[in-house]
Each structure stands twice: as C-alpha cells, then as structure tokens.
Amino acid sequence: MILTEIRINNLYCFDDFYVDFSYPRKVIESTIDYEFLEERPKFNIKRFCVIMGTNSSGKTALGKVLFGIENFIVRKELSDYLKTGISDNKKDASIEVKFVTTSDLKFHSLNLDFSSDSVFPIKALTYKAVPILQNDSCLSCKKRIDAVSQDIRSKKYTYISSVKDSIMNAYDAFSKIEFASDSWDFRLGNNLDCHEDLCNKEYHPSRNLLERIIKTYDQSVNNVTTITASTKGTVEGYLVEFENGDTVRLNKRAEVFPEDHARLSKGTSEALNLVTFIANILKQGSDSCTYYLDDSLSSTDSEIEKDLINLMISKLKNSSQLFYTTHNNEFLTLNIPTHSFLFLSKKGNFVEAFQPEKMSFNKNDRTLFSYAKNNMFGTVPDTDGILEILLNENFKLE
C-alpha cells in the first residue's frame, strides 16, 4: 500500500488537515530512486517523507492515524488509536485517504466517519477503486476516482457506500475486499519495540547487522556472537562482548535482558531498538510496506542519524514508503528532494501542514535550512516563557 493523500477531521490535533504524498513532476537526477510506479512511470509518489515539527506538533499523532487507517483497510477493525483520538466526542471524526496497491495496480479511495461508540463506531463508509492505466498520473487517477458514483456500470470499477445502502451492508461489502500483501512497521513515541499490532511482519536481525550497528554507537564493543540452541542449532539470542570483558545478553529480537539494561547508554539502547526496524527493511520481500519511525534517534549523533536514514532509503523496496520524524534541522542539509519534507506547525489546538514543493520550492533548495531557522514553516519552538525566567531577576517562584 502506498499512500497518496490524506485528509483528517476531528482527530487528535488535526482538523481539516490535508497532506499530499504525490508530486507532479519528476526531479532530474533525484537522489531517491523509483519515486513512481515501476509499471506506470507517470504516476509519481513520495517514497520517503521527513516530518519535522516542534514538540506536540502532531508527529506521533500522525503516525497513530496512519497506522489506524492501514489497520482498518487490512483487518477491517477500528483501532483504539482512532477511537480514543477523537477531539470532540460530540461530533464524528472523519478520514479521507487515497492509496495505491502495487500488486494489482489499482487506485483506491476510502472515506470513513466514526465515533467513540463502543457498540458500532463506524457511521459512514465510502470505498472506490479504479485501475491505473498505462499513461495515468496520480492527478488523472484522482479525477477519475472522484467521478465514480453509484451509477457506475464498469466491472473494472468498485463502488461501495453507506450513502446508497445501510452502514452495515457497506461495511460487510468492504470487509470482503482483501489487502493481504500489505504490511507495516510503526515505531511510535516511546513504543520503539516491534509490537504485534504496530508491526505485522517482523524479521530477526542477523549477527552481522547487529554487530555493525552496535559498534557504530559504542566503540568499546569488541564483537557480537550468536547464542544457539545446543540441540537444533537455531538462534536463541546474541552476546555482546566489550573490550573490558563485560557482556550483555540479547534475545533473538536484539532486546536486552532486564538485568543488563544498566550497562548500555541511552543511545546504544536506541540502536538496539532500531536494529529490527532496519532488518525489516533489508529483508522485506515483494510485499508493499509502510514504515514509520517516530523520533527514535533523539540520542544519536547527527552524522550517525543521517547515515542510518540514508541506509534505509537506499534499501527501501520500490513499492514501500518510509516516514521519519525528527527535530533535527541538520536533516534539511540532506541531499534529498524538497518534496520529501513535511513541516507540522501547531496553531492553538490544531496543526497545519506545510509542503515546500507547494510553496514555490520546486527543486532541491538548500535554503530550506535558513527558511526553517527563520520560522517560515512555524517549526521554531516558542521559548518566551523560558527567556522570561532567564532575563527577569525578580521572577517569582511561588
């Protein structure tokens, strides 16, 4: 599944929130390959997106919404991330999403209204699907799918809606449509481990991958050895050996045993949480996968952070998308297309999205760094309260 656009209403800090994950024109000599459908070269999609914003600007919340959408599409169930995220419980929340399935080259649209009702929260549903033709662009597909209605007679098109039928019948009809080849891996906020709901397909890291990543973070690591079962020879975990003779035991998912946590720095612990995420990207098969890595490298050196992201981009399969959230303005100096950046700015209770390619930044523009530093995208934190304490000698503590 490849997302091409999303609109969110009354959910977390999003209201009338819109993001376009397609782009109109190819970037000449782009540093990110295959930002288009291989069999439909005019259909341009963003395979990598850096999401930047201050604290509480909606970066984690956006990941929760994207996970909730994919979970509903594949499993046909409304995640608690969606039900508990409704801003005003007196009104329904709504999501509009358009996406591509590369296995059958179809373009899909889903409009979903829901409430916090514990009995049956889905209040309205409209789903459409059309084939992506040889010369289609994302824009032409959007126009064609928006024109699809209940009067359509083509067998190549799909139209399901509670507008023309009961919500239960519409939901039942949508439930019969399978998206079995789609997978995801969401690491949200402090939830950096690979949990069953947030990651529906996991690959265990190899010893070579684990050793190279952990040695990058901690130069005192001597080597990593494999712990195998004595009878079957299967991998049960790993042993990290340090120059001073200390050891740390990991299970086969590269998770540290509780009694060994104190031996590792925060940055090295982050690295171990990241290893399975990287392994999933490296070992992914032909499935289309959505990856969302949320502020997971905050304790990592800036150069290591950028090199790790470049590794993920270079190994990302053509049919997959990677979303990465960060506070690090150094990312604005990466040699990636301008359309790869998404800035989130919180105004009061709600968040606004800024997409540079829609603001006359039509090419790789290294001045994005200076524009961001000058708060053109509303991503510079307001530190007036701290400055008031700093500059006011008579500031009252009570």
Rounded CA separation 322/324 (Å): 7
Judged on CB neighbours under 10 Å (0-12, 13-18, 19+), 159 is buried
Domain boundaries, the chain: 1-200+287-398, 202-283
**Closest by Cα among 123, 117, 96 to 108:** 96
Q: pLDDT value at position 327?
A: 84
Q: What is the pLDDT of residue 383?
A: 82
DSSP 8-class letter at 205 = P
- Class of domain 1-200+287-398 (CATH, top level): alpha beta
Give the pLDDT confidence of 92-145 residue by residue, as tens digits.
999 999 999 998 999 999 999 999 887 889 999 999 999 999 999 999 999 999
pLDDT tens column, 274-301? 898 999 999 887 678 999 999 877 778 8
- Work out the angle at residue 280's Cα, subtended by the Cα atoms of residues 277 and 281, and round it to the nearest 5 degrees: 95
The confidence score (pLDDT) of residue 298 equals 74
Q: Identify the pLDDT of residue 48.
A: 96
The pLDDT score that the predictor gives to residue 196 is 52
State the first-to-last Cα distance of the chain, in angstroms, to the nearest integer.
54
Contact criterion met (CB below 8 Å) for 154 and 122: no
Low-confidence ranges of the chain (pLDDT < 50): 192, 194
SS3 244: coil
The pLDDT of residue 190 is 62
Specify the pLDDT at position 329.
83
Measure Cα distances from 278 to 294, 295, 316 in Å: 14, 15, 10
